[in-house]
Amino acid sequence: MLQPFLTSAVTILVLDTIWLTINKKYHDELFKNVQRSPMQIRFIPAVLVYILIPFAVTYFAILQSKSISESLQKGALIGLSMYGLYDLTNLATLQGWTVEMAIKDTLWGTFACAIASLLGYYFTKIYKFNI
- Would you put residue 36 in left (φ > 0), alpha (ψ -120 to 50) or beta? left
Looking at residue 69, what is its pLDDT?
A: 97
Q: Please indicate, yes or no, if residue 67 is contained in any of the structural domains.
A: yes
Asked whether residue 50 is domain-assigned, the answer is yes
pLDDT the model gives residue 97 = 93
Domain assignment of residue 78, yes or no = yes
pTM above 0.75, yes or no: yes
Note down the domain range covering 101: 2-126
Return the closest-CA partner of residue 124 out of 46, 61, 73: 61
Residue 118, in any domain of the structure: yes
98-130 in b/e burial notation, b at 16+ Cβ within 10 A?
A: beebbebbbebbbbbbbbbbbbbbbbbbeeeee
Q: What is the pLDDT of residues 87-119, one digit of tens each?
A: 999 999 999 999 999 999 999 999 999 999 999
Quick one: what percent of the chain has pLDDT higher than 70?
A: 98
Residue 62 resides in a domain:
yes
33 pLDDT above the threshold of 90:
no
Say if residue 131's pLDDT is above 70: no
Question: What does the DSSP 8-state code read for residue 123?
Answer: I
pLDDT tops 90 at residue 125? no
Q: What is the pLDDT of residue 99?
A: 96
Residue 131 resides in a domain: no
Q: Is residue 40 part of a domain?
A: yes
Q: Provide the domain count of the chain.
A: 1
